[in-house]
Structure 1
Amino acid sequence: MPNNNDIEIDIGDLFFLLLHKMWFILLWGILSAAAAIFISKVFITPVYTSSTKLYIINRQNKDTITSSDLQTGSQLTQDYKILVLSRPVTEQVLSKLNLDMTHEELVSNITVKVPENTRILEISVQNPNPETAKQLADSIAEESAERMVSILEMEKVNIVEEGDIPSFPTSPSIIKNAILGSLAGAFISTFIIILIHIIDDTVKDVEQIEKYLGLTVLGTIPLETKYAGKIKNKKKAIKKRKKEENIYPEGISIEKASLEFSVNEAYKTLRTNIQFCGKDIKTICITSSLPDEGKTVVAFRLATALSESGKKVLFIDADLRKSVIVNRLKISNGANGLSQYLSGMSTLEEVIHKTNVENVDIIFTGILPPHPSEMLGNEEFKDLVRSQREIYDYIIIDTPPLGVVIDSANVAEICDGTILVIESGKISYRLIQRVLKQLITGKSRVLGAVLNKANIYGKGYKKNYYGKYYGR
């Protein structure tokens, strides 16, 4: 078993993943843009900006403006900015307009700019009220002009442009916020998708089984299209699947499920691969890591697939703790089964039940024994398997999930091979590695794995692919 626990990131797979999830990214972008618009309109107070301009010149010659005047004025522009924002100016303005603001609050709403190579001061004032914004801009310009003339002993400061009453708020910018919100939503959703993809260690495809588990994939059973994409709610889908996958109607008369073409072909491929494992492979243990991976369905459909090729098959339900078959058949726990035979309460003839499927016989679990693991590990069960091996071409034994109880390991030791059923996208490969270690420690021969419920249609396959090319 390989010890490769490093997660590799395939850029190509990541690209197609994001492409496949583009609807999710776009949805989050739209929702985030809508949220940004809503917040901007409801929770953010609009702010209006009014601007005024001052022209500053310090004449050394009253008749003309010299280059020296321009140079000196340009060097003093930073001084002018400091004067505009000085406390005497702001406090005089606040007193004049009778505004309930502090010096710091007013200064935080004033912007002073000096266009390059000019002697123009542009003063902009922000305020939630457009009229107040104009009044502040004009008053600051007037007070600043007087103070410059007084402090710097300048001849004159001209107000080039008075403040206007703005018609539209300068902030918040709804369009800008919507764009930023959309980009943020798209980025966050993309990050979440990539993060989930990176930390997701579940086995989803054949390549991961071969790489992380070192197992041969004997078959890939597609998720039937009636379950893939038609039912969005996963819990409802599982509930409906369990209800519809009743491959055993009332009684022991077994009605073979009508399988989709791709699923039917997958079981034929699985049957062929098992036959290629060798003539000595006759007793096969079927297990999984966790419950609800579909091992029972896979086990029985494999049995019927083998019978269709003319092989005589015995299906043994060895899940003594929680039989899926008994529950679906609604058979009484007191019915003759494996536990009664192993405890000496029934004969072999009483527990082997004929079915209406040609070449398929079945042994149920029987009543729940007190020590299932010990019962499956005793000599009686070994003798049962050995004796029936001479009668049947194949014995398929359905066992409990090995990641939950040890029963399967006891069964696997006496079988010619074990097949591990892995549900696509459900089980961590690290957990499966621990399960495999139990099998290998018990000296069981692992024939390979079956990737079950694989959503091949989500990877670019078309629903009618097989039917189109193989004459469905």
Structure 2
Amino acid sequence: MNFAFLDQLKNNSVPLAALLRGVQKYWLIMLLAVLVIGVGTFYVSTYLVQKTYQATASILALNNKEDSSDGKDSSSMTYTTLMMANLLINDYKEILSSRRVLDKVDAKVCEAKNITEPPKYKLSVNFKRNTRILEISATSNDKDLSLQVATATTDIFTSEIRDLLKMDNVVTLDDPKLEDAPVSPRPLRNTAIAMVLALLLSGGVVFLKEISDDSVKTPEDITETLKLPVIGTIPEAGSKKSRRRSADDAKQPRHKRLDFVGLFSIDEKYRHISEAFRLLRTNLQYLTPENAEKNAKVFTITSAMASEGKSSCCANMALITAQSGKRVLLIDTDLRKPNVQNFFELDRRVGLVNYLSGDAKLEEIINRQVVDEHLDVILSGPIPPNPSELLMSETFQKMVKTLGTDYDFIFFDAPPCLNMADATIVASNSDGVIFVLRHGSTRMGAVQRAIRQFQQTGIKVHGVLLNRFDMKRVGYGYYNYYNYYNYYSYYQTDGNKEA
């Protein structure tokens, strides 16, 4: 379901934008809630709630002077008559609701039904606005009882007015009549009200959820909140169901298995994602440090928290850049929870830790021509007890300077930066940081704290890479972008098949 007309409204108001985003994300749940409550209300109103019936009668009570036929036509007398009639209205109402009248009504109904205990019913008296017409209504769960109460009340009230007020001009305009349909419940009205309330309630819940949710949603939100450019947007690779592992698939290298989303550029299935990384590669060309005309451009790839996809993004950035003919080195500097080896089917028993500890030479830890002839990889090695001390060593600094003359690009896969100093130490040996944020998961507050952590130490943050961006959920413009790359991928695949 698309909401193309909402895109123009989203930038006008933060609360409105939150509501519209929530409706786009949860419209199906809201619709189901409205339908379930509507159907439930209709069923309860129709079959479970006891029906109530109503009988009504209308009486006109006149002053005796209005009956005079002496030929006088005095305006003063007419005014006096009207005033007296209006003053009698409250008297009529009190008489109708008096115990004297109600007892007689009960007695008459009991006699008609041949019972001893008065049945339950409700009697109400209303005056029609700006008139002297009384409307008597009797309601109960019994059709016959409602009509009997209305009839008895009309007869007894007429008699009491004549006896108490000595008035003969009490006219029954409408005899007691029972309405054909129950006055309560009204299934259609109740259902409509319940559905409207359900819509408002679900909309309120969605609004509160969205307004209190500070997770990353759109590139525009990132730019506005973080004041940083979004240098790349990586689409969602698909659901786990679409990457379900088969028996034949298990025999493939891990980075080619369907259940492992790793190197997108070597899998035709994820062509739209590899295209997004190529666009990122183009943007990286413009992030050239002023003092690095000949040396490598060194980027630290990190995230605020774990499970943001930084290692996947870093591995793909390195591979895509190498495929363009650039000499690229990928170094896994996450010495606490390394992951780069999983993308390339490499053994990490010998790596950066061995070199920094003096147990291996630099040449021994470099894996040459991994997947692409222009890509080299240095893995983390065994997990050390003192990762921060190793990264702070002069050996690491000299290693980066030495390798900088041999490569065009060096990518550090750094650990998450919050609550750990490792990423800051690694970034201090690079030309700047690229933050990986996961769409719908990363919290803006955590990212802001992480960015301040780098800025306070003078480390440049180049921009943000938005990972696993679900374009179909965000809006019409992104949805078209997603469809374009899907079409491109399909066309290329068919072209290869035909060839």
Task: Specify if TM > 0.5.
Answer: yes
Partner of 1:364: 379
Query: Is residue 287 of structure 2 the alignment partner of residue 277 of structure 1?
Result: yes
The Cα of 1:170 is off from its aligned counterpart by 0.4
| Distance (whole Å) between structure 2 residues aligned to residue 101 and residue 289 of structure 1 | 76
Q: 1:91 aligns with which of 85, 100, 103?
A: 103
The Cα of 1:414 is off from its aligned counterpart by 0.9
Deviations 1:63-83 (A, max 9, x none): 749885973445423311111
Deviations 1:10-57 (A, max 9, x none): 857865764676545444332332232133235532211111233434
The Cα of 1:362 is off from its aligned counterpart by 1.4
Deviations 1:372-393 (A, max 9, x none): 2222222222222222222222
The Cα of 1:295 is off from its aligned counterpart by 0.9
Partner of 1:340: 354
Instruction: Check whether the contact 1:57–1:70 (CA below 8 A) recurs between aligned residues.
Output: no
Deviations 1:392-434 (A, max 9, x none): 2222111111124221111001112211111222222221111
The Cα of 1:465 is off from its aligned counterpart by 1.8
| Distance (whole Å) between structure 1 residues aligned to residue 358 and residue 266 of structure 2 | 33
Residues 408-427 of structure 1 aligned to structure 2 (within 5 Å)? 408-427=423-442
**What value does the CA root-mean-square deviation take over the aligned residues?**
3.4
Partner of 2:59: 54
Residues 111-150 of structure 1 aligned to structure 2 (within 5 Å)? 111-116=124-129, 118-150=131-163
Query: Is residue 7 of structure 2 the alignment partner of residue 32 of structure 1?
Result: no
The Cα of 1:230 is off from its aligned counterpart by 7.5
Which structure 1 residue ranges, 5 or more long, are not aligned? Answer: 1-6, 232-240, 249-253
Partner of 1:236: none
Which range moved further: 283-292 or 385-394?
Answer: 385-394
The 1:92–1:112 alpha-carbon spacing in structure 2 relative to 1, beyond 3 Å, is same
| Distance (whole Å) between structure 2 residues aligned to residue 202 and residue 61 of structure 1 | 78
The 1:449–1:118 alpha-carbon spacing in structure 2 relative to 1, beyond 3 Å, is closer
The 1:313–1:259 alpha-carbon spacing in structure 2 relative to 1, beyond 3 Å, is farther
Query: Is residue 268 of structure 2 the alignment partner of residue 258 of structure 1?
Result: yes
Partner of 1:435: 450
The Cα of 1:289 is off from its aligned counterpart by 0.9
Q: Aligned AA for 2:420?
A: V
The 1:188–1:436 alpha-carbon spacing in structure 2 relative to 1, beyond 3 Å, is same
Deviations 1:322-342 (A, max 9, x none): 122345667666x21222222
Deviations 1:282-317 (A, max 9, x none): 221110111121111110111111111211212111
3-state SS in 1 of match to 2:340: helix
The Cα of 1:275 is off from its aligned counterpart by 1.8
| Distance (whole Å) between structure 2 residues aligned to residue 466 and residue 150 of structure 1 | 92
3-state SS in 1 of match to 2:232: strand
| Distance (whole Å) between structure 2 residues aligned to residue 59 and residue 8 of structure 1 | 68
Instruction: Check whether the contact 1:247–1:255 (CA below 8 A) recurs between aligned residues.
Output: no
The Cα of 1:160 is off from its aligned counterpart by 4.5
Partner of 2:236: 223
Q: Aligned AA for 2:94?
A: I
The Cα of 1:201 is off from its aligned counterpart by 2.2
Residues 67-106 of structure 1 aligned to structure 2 (within 5 Å)? 71=82, 72-98=84-110
The Cα of 1:91 is off from its aligned counterpart by 2.5
Which structure 2 residue ranges, 5 or more long, are not aligned? Answer: 1-11, 72-76, 111-115, 244-255, 493-499
The Cα of 1:348 is off from its aligned counterpart by 2.5
Partner of 2:181: 168
Q: 2:215 aligns with which of 202, 210, 220?
A: 202
Q: 1:465 aligns with which of 475, 484, 488?
A: 484
| Distance (whole Å) between structure 2 residues aligned to residue 173 and residue 199 of structure 1 | 38
Which range moved further: 299-308 or 161-170?
Answer: 161-170
| Distance (whole Å) between structure 1 residues aligned to residue 67 and residue 446 of structure 2 | 92
Residues 183-194 of structure 1 aligned to structure 2 (within 5 Å)? 183-194=196-207
Instruction: Check whether the contact 1:54–1:121 (CA below 8 A) recurs between aligned residues.
Output: yes
Instruction: Check whether the contact 2:18–2:207 (CA below 8 A) recurs between aligned residues.
Output: no
3-state SS in 1 of match to 2:329: strand
3-state SS in 1 of match to 2:266: coil
3-state SS in 2 of match to 1:396: strand
| Distance (whole Å) between structure 1 residues aligned to residue 234 and residue 272 of structure 2 | 8
Partner of 2:164: 151
The Cα of 1:190 is off from its aligned counterpart by 2.5
Deviations 1:212-268 (A, max 9, x none): 2122222122223x349979xxxxxxxxx99633437xxxxx993336443222212
TM-score, length basis structure 1? 0.83
| Distance (whole Å) between structure 2 residues aligned to residue 454 and residue 466 of structure 1 | 14
Instruction: Check whether the contact 1:228–1:455 (CA below 8 A) recurs between aligned residues.
Output: no
Q: 2:404 aligns with which of 370, 373, 389?
A: 389
Instruction: Check whether the contact 2:311–2:339 (CA below 8 A) recurs between aligned residues.
Output: yes
Partner of 1:238: none
The 1:175–1:308 alpha-carbon spacing in structure 2 relative to 1, beyond 3 Å, is same
The Cα of 1:437 is off from its aligned counterpart by 1.1
3-state SS in 2 of match to 1:163: strand
The 1:15–1:447 alpha-carbon spacing in structure 2 relative to 1, beyond 3 Å, is closer
Instruction: Check whether the contact 2:301–2:314 (CA below 8 A) recurs between aligned residues.
Output: yes
Instruction: Check whether the contact 1:203–1:426 (CA below 8 A) recurs between aligned residues.
Output: yes
Instruction: Check whether the contact 1:32–1:185 (CA below 8 A) recurs between aligned residues.
Output: yes
Size of the aligned set, in residue pairs, is: 446
Partner of 1:455: 470
3-state SS in 2 of match to 1:450: strand
Which range moved further: 358-367 or 117-126?
Answer: 117-126
Instruction: Check whether the contact 2:335–2:384 (CA below 8 A) recurs between aligned residues.
Output: yes
Q: 2:460 aligns with which of 442, 445, 450?
A: 445
| Distance (whole Å) between structure 2 residues aligned to residue 242 and residue 228 of structure 1 | 12
Instruction: Check whether the contact 1:289–1:404 (CA below 8 A) recurs between aligned residues.
Output: no
3-state SS in 1 of match to 2:40: helix
